[in-house]
Homo-oligomer: A and B are copies of this chain.
Amino acid sequence: MKKLGVKDRIIETASDLFYNNGYNQTGINQIIDEAGVAKASMYMHFRSKEDIAVAYLKRRHISWVSDLQDFVSNQITNREKLIASFDYLDSWLSSVNYRGCGWQNIITDLPHDHDKIRDQAVLHKNDVRVWVHSLLKDEDNLSDNEAMQLGDELVILLEGAIILSQIQKNKWPIEVAKRAAKKLLK
């Protein structure tokens, strides 16, 4: 394990804590203790706790989207890739004990003025939406408009599967969403 710089150690530690324990449940002191960093060092790299959360979400976005695309890459058709997205949810969420989506989790119980965090959530969800649209737009039998409409429906299913599996601590919502997705994709 190679030695990380202070900033990376902070992001990594905070990411674990924010995702697994929650943003409000994670204090600055816990982050610096576990990262082995002085408090003022942390505030050299991040102006506020919210900024750490932004860094966490940015980093997570890159790896999450990358993992998703890797997961579905061995599927041949775009439709198959989209169906496989639900298998990705399954493998991901069961591996984190249905802890749910980092962006959903952080956005639902947030002080009203934390706009930078909200922005990250919107960016993340938009990127996923655009990716879904792009896969469908390459399909011959769909107009651009149809592709976007169908894509949005799949996006809703993905979101619903994530949040409901988190509440139920069970994978059935993912399976249900996958089945519904298959129906909608014909």
Contacts and interface: CB of A to CB of B under 8 A. Distances in A.
Given A156-B177, A176-B156, A167 B25 contact: no
Contacts of A122: 167-168
Contacts of A103: 167
Interface residues of A, number: 43
29 contacts: A21-B112, A22-B109, A22-B110, A22-B111, A24-B109, A25-B109, A104-B104, A104-B163, A109-B109, A109-B110, A125-B164, A125-B168, A149-B176, A149-B179, A152-B173, A153-B177, A153-B179, A153-B180, A155-B164, A156-B160, A156-B173, A156-B180, A157-B157, A157-B160, A160-B161, A160-B163, A163-B163, A180-B184, A183-B183
